[in-house]
């Protein structure tokens, strides 16, 4: 496998879904790719920028499942599903969204569609809720009713759209 930013990201995604963020080190990544750790730094600025690349990749995955015109609540649920696929997805995308919001926000939840305020609201709610949910799974705490709970709260926040103040 030719070493590129893409192959590095893909391998990272693989480690992430299998073992989680705790096992995603630059050294571990290098071992998996059978290169020296330092080799990674020719293709990727640092670990943080790799996490942003990962965040962008998850956005693309959500977009593939959600057209621009998708119902915002359905889009938020899709985002949640994708975040859950990658063990610590929410924590990573929280970082990615902080640094490069526009590149990480799913098209169906963009500020162009929902307005900056609600777009940010639904993103931060989703990232916060799923981050907590993923932490709980990690510690074997039962995240009882997580999906329904999240759906209800997201719906409440989105209700403003159909009845603006």
Partner DNA sequence: ACCTGAACACCGTTCAAGT
Q: Tell me which of 141, 142, 147, 162 binds its own copies, using CB under 8 A.
A: 141
User: Which of DNA, its own copies, none has residue 52 at its interface (CB below 5 to 8 Å by kind)?
Assistant: none
Judged by CB under 7 A, the stretch of 43-51, 59-67, 113-121, 133-141 that binds DNA is 43-51
Judge whether 154 and 125 are in contact, CB under 8 Å.
yes
Provide the strand spans (E) within 27-143: none
Residue 41 interacting with DNA (CB under 7 A): yes
Query: 97 near 127, Cβ under 8 Å?
Result: yes
Q: What are the residue ranges of helices labelled H in 116-163? A: 116-138, 146-162
* 58 contacts 17 by C-beta, under 8 angstroms: no
- Pattern 73-112, its own copies, x by CB under 8 A: ---------------------xx-xxx-------------
Which partner, DNA, its own copies, none, binds residue 95 by CB below 5 to 8 Å per kind? its own copies
Q: State the distance between the two ends of the chain, measured CA to CA, in whole angstroms.
A: 55
39 binds its own copies (CB under 8 A): no
126 and 79 Cβ atoms separated by less than 8 Å: yes
**Out of 26, 65, 77, 160, the residue judged to bind its own copies by CB under 8 A:** 160
Choose between 3 and 121: whose C-beta lies nearer to its own copies: 121
Best CA proximity match to 48, nearest among 2, 121, 98: 98
Contacts with its own copies, residue ranges (CB under 8 A) = 94-95, 97-99, 116-118, 120-121, 123-129, 131-132, 135-136, 139, 141, 149, 152-153, 156-157, 159-160
């Amino acid at each position: 496998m030719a070493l590129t930013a893409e192959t590095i990201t893909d391998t990272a995604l693989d480690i992430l879904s299998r073992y989680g963020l705790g096992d995603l080190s630059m050294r571990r990544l290098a071992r998996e790719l059978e290169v020296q750790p330092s080799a990674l730094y020719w293709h990727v600025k640092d670990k943080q920028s790799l996490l942003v690349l990962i965040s962008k990749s998850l956005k693309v995955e959500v977009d593939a499942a959600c057209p621009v015109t998708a119902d915002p609540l359905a889009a938020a649920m899709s985002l949640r599903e994708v975040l859950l696929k990658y063990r610590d997805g929410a924590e990573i995308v929280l970082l990615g969204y902080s640094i490069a919001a526009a590149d990480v926000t799913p098209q169906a939840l963009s500020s162009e569609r929902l307005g900056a305020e609600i777009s940010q609201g639904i993103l931060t709610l989703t990232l916060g809720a799923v981050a907590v949910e993923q932490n709980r799974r990690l510690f074997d705490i039962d995240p009882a009713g997580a999906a329904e709970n999240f759906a209800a709260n997201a719906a409440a926040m989105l209700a403003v759209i159909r009845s603006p103040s």
